[in-house]
Amino acid sequence: MALTLVSELKSWLQWKPTDGQLKDLTFPGGIEPYYGKNLTDRIPTAVMPPPQRVVLPLSMHTGAPAKPLVAIGNAVKKGQKIGEAGGYVSVPVHASISGKVTAIGPYPHPSGKTVTSIIIESDGKDEWVGPLIEHENDLDLSPDAVRKIVLEAGISGMGGAQFPTHVKLNPPKDKRLDTLILNGVECEPYLTADHRLMLEHPHEMLKGLKLLIKILGVERVYSGIEDNKPDAIQSLTEALEKDPIEEVDGRPVRVQIASVKTKYPEGGEKQLIQAILKKEVPSGGLPMDIGVVMQNVATTVAIYEAVRFGRPLIERIVTVTGHGIKRPQNVMARLGTRARDLIEFCGGFTGAPGKIVFGGPMMGMAQYTLDAPIVKGTGGILVLPKEEISFDAIQPCIKCAACVVACPAGLAPHMLSITAELVNFEEAKRYHPFDCIECGCCDYVCPSKRPIVHLIRYTKMELAARKKKEDQKK
């Protein structure tokens, strides 16, 4: 196994980019799980009618929660701002249907917590708020004007991280960016929302890409797509042939499609940068530290729709899938739609569900209630039947190093799990727990069925709590 790993590493280091389309790119480590994407990847996206009720958490993004702007009993319209950004690292929340605010308070959230949310009952009219401000010549806007629109539209990363997009598009002045990576990899098993988006809206994606190039002033763009999506690669290739991007705002730019190998977690930010650029983001650092910024394809389309048509982020494509769903499919659904309503729209359960997950099986969050709503980063709802759920007994670590080989971050997950069990968090620091991306590769390959990711999360939480106490003493 060690010799194989060394051979793969040498091959990876010797790789050189060529002109034209880039192919067979990848990163060290990772796994090849069952993907299950065939359940939904060939089915056109269905549009779900507005639900009777939506639950809109004031925390649908990383950072400070939004502050409510409405009260119980208020009438609201679709697209109306109902929550103001709670700080710089925050975004507003908008009504996704027209109707009446019936409650404001704690409500189940996809994270497993209860979060202050605004509940709206539909009036059946689905009316937009006021006239939307359109910009036919969107590329004539200044970068600052575009950033402001992105902020006011409530856009945060739709690939899962949910980081406020306007912050990501406003790097510090000492960070010179030269490369943008458009992330269409979607490596999480079962999920195909981004795949369908690239097939159905490639031209909108390219128009959003032009706005990103203008804002960031980058010279190179790579569109990363896994090679298990040849139709998406073809779709984007044809769109670029019809509308080539060779310069933006008078500056030359080169756009290339990067076909990456189908491997999990190829779509991780740092892993995709390694695969395409052969650069490593420093420990504790960000992609912008090496001149790179990354945006998800769905986020890119949302930026275009906000700038061109004035539409705030109130809906997204969600993959409702798994062998526990009668009609697996991708659905364009309003934010705040509860899981129970999406599942009903897809025909309901095939039988008693064994587990319901928001997201995919590797990094998703299992739900304890069907009342949890979809939020800006919800890419899918996965329903696994009981027969697909196993409860293997956890065994001691046998130090086989399978997790070390699989870890895409180059860590020693087994040591992080052992130090957590021993409650030796000072020792855990030696193994860089905060570099863990919590992808689950270590859990997947562990023959002892150890909950390694859970133990690493425990370590992170404990170390963060201790640091907070130390800072408060200073």
Q: Is the pLDDT of residue 339 over 80?
A: yes
pLDDT in tens, 71-116: 999 999 999 999 999 999 999 999 999 999 999 999 999 999 999 9
Q: Is the pLDDT of residue 253 over 60?
A: yes
Q: Is the pLDDT of residue 189 over 80?
A: yes
What mean pLDDT comes out for the span 223-229? Answer: 96
Question: Is it true that domain 22-41+135-309 has CATH number 3.40.50.11540?
Answer: yes
Yes or no: say if 57 and 109 are a contact pair by the CB < 8 Å rule: yes
pLDDT in tens, 349-382: 999 999 999 999 999 999 999 999 999 999 999 9
Q: Is the pLDDT of residue 384 over 70?
A: yes
Residues facing 25 on adjacent strands: 260
What letter would DSSP give residue 48?
P
What letter would DSSP give residue 243?
S
Model pLDDT, residue 424: 95
Beta strand 220-226 with 75-76: parallel, antiparallel or unpaired?
unpaired
Listed in sequence order, the DSSP H helices in 285-400 are 297-309, 339-345
Yes or no: say if 371 and 103 are a contact pair by the CB < 8 Å rule: no
How far is residue 4's CA from residue 339's CA, in Å, rounded to a whole number? 44
What mean pLDDT comes out for the span 164-193? Answer: 95
Nearest CA among 31, 15, 123, 13 for reference residue 78:
123
As a whole number of Å, the end-to-end CA separation of the chain is 49
pLDDT in tens, 435-457: 999 999 999 999 999 999 999 99
Model pLDDT, residue 13: 38
